[in-house]
Amino acid sequence: MPMIFEAIWRNRLIHPEQIHTDHPLVIGRSAEAPPIDLESLRQVHTDRYLKALFTGEPLHLATSQGLPFWNESIARGWLLNVGGLYAAAKTALVKKTITANLGHGYHHATANRGSGFCTINGLVVVAHKLIREGMAKQVMIIDLDQHEGNGTAECIIGHSRIWNVSIFGSPMGGPPTSENNRVFQVQHGMFEIGERRDVHYLAVISEILPKLIKHQNPDLILYQAGMDPYDSAGITKKALAIRDAYVFALARLLHIPVTWVLAGGYSDMDTLIELHTGTVRMAHEVLAKVNPGDRMTHRGITPYEWNVQDGTFSFPDWTSLLSGKLQMDQPPFMRESHIKEFIKSRNALFKEEKLPDDKIDSAYRRLFSWKPLP
C-alpha cells in the first residue's frame, strides 16, 4: 500500500487537498481520518474477536487472518484503515462523487474471526454505520475480486438494506444465494487466456450489474476493485481497466456515488502499482467524461475501448462479441427457514461472545491512549 500511495502521489493522480493522510511529504494534504469507532465495530464483529484484535490475546484469534504476528501498531492500522473507508464513503455521499480508501483486507473476515488476510470486514462495518446514522438507506457492495466475498455474505444475510454482489472465479465456501447476497462464479477456464476470456468476463459483469443495481437502487456502492483476476484467472490489464470504467460509469449514469478499495493481486510490485493506479485513472476519466443522467449503450466492437459523445457513452457489446452462452454458476437460493436459522445462530454467537462494555471499551482506547477518541 505505501508504494501504491507513493506512485499516486508521485504521478499527481490526486490533488494534495483531496488526500487525507499524515504523510509529511504531501504538502497541502488534508487531515487523516480518525479510527473507526467501537460501536460500529460491535455491530459486525463479536466482542471476543475484537478484544483479541485490540490486545493480541489470544494470539491465534488475533492472527486468524494469516499474519505471522501481532503488535499494537498493526492493530491501530486496522482501525485507521476502516476509519479511512468510512471517511471516503461519507465524502462520496456528500459530494455525489467517486472516492477511494487506499486500504484493503475486508471481504473474507467473518463475525468472529479473520481469514485470507482480511481482519475487519470494513465493507459491512461502514455500510451499517452509514445506515445507522441516516446517511444512506441502502448500500450495495460490489465485489469483483477473484475470490468469493464469503465473509461479507455471512455478515449481511438478513440485513435487507445491505446487498452483496460477488462475481468471482474462486469459491471460498460462503453461504448460498439469498435476496441480499447474489453470488456468481465465473468459469474462466472454459475459454483460452486472451481476448475471448476477457470478453466473457466483461459480458458476465455487464449482464449482472445493471439489473441488480437498478433493482436495489442503492444510495452508495462500495466497490471491491479486485486485481487478482489478472494473476489468478488470466484476465488482462486492459480488461480490468475497462471493467473499472464500466462500474464507475454505470454508477455515474444512475446518480450513485462510489467508494472503491484496493483488493487482490499477487504479482510483482510494479505490476500491482500499474493495476491499482489504473483504477484511479479510470475514476478520473469517468468523472471527467460522464455526467449523471447520461445515456449508456452497448454497441462498440473493440473489447477494450469506450467513448462518450453528445451525452451518450458507449461500451462494447461484450455479449454479442462473445457469441455464445455465458459460463457461470449461481448457487440456489437459501430457503427462508435456512435464513432464519442462520440469523438465529449469528445472534447466539454475538450473545455468547459478548463482553462487559467497560472491558471492551478500555481495550479499544488503550490502543490510542495518547489521543482523544470519538
Asked if residues 191 and 197 have their Cβ atoms less than 8 Å apart, the reply is yes
The answer to whether residue 91 sits within a structural domain is no
Instruction: Please indicate, yes or no, if residue 283 is contained in any of the structural domains.
Output: yes
**Residues, the chain, total?**
374
Q: Is residue 19 part of a domain?
A: no
Residue with cell 476502516: 82
- Asked, for residue 278, whether it belongs to a domain, the answer is yes
* Tens-digit pLDDT profile for residues 254-290: 999 999 999 988 889 999 999 999 999 999 999 999 9
The pLDDT assigned to 213 comes to 97
- Residue 182, in any domain of the structure: yes
Measure the CA–CA gap between 191 and 75, rounded to whole angstroms.
Answer: 42
> Domain holding 252: CATH number?
3.40.800.20
pTM assigned to the model: 0.96
Q: Which helix (H) or strand (E) holds 99?
A: strand 98-101
Q: How many domains does the chain have?
A: 1
The string of DSSP codes covering 333-361 is BPPHHHHHHHHHHHHHHHHHT---HHHHH
Q: 323 in a domain, yes or no?
A: yes
Model pLDDT for residues 172-226, shown as the tens digit of each residue:
999 999 999 999 999 999 999 999 999 999 999 999 999 999 999 999 999 999 9
H or E, element range at 314? strand 312-316
**Gap between the terminal Cα atoms of the chain:** 26
Which range of residues forms the domain containing residue 197?
98-342
224 in any annotated domain: yes
Burial of 192 (0-12, 13-18, 19+ CB in 10 A): exposed
**How far apart are the C-alpha atoms of 159 and 244, rounded to whole Å?**
27
- Burial of residue 216 (CB within 10 Å: 0-12, 13-18, 19+) is buried
Answer yes or no: is 28 within a domain: no
Question: Is it the case that residue 372 has pLDDT exceeding 80?
Answer: no
C-alpha cell at 345: 445462530
Cα distances (Å, whole numbers) of residue 279 to 22, 203, 210, 237, 260: 23, 19, 20, 11, 9
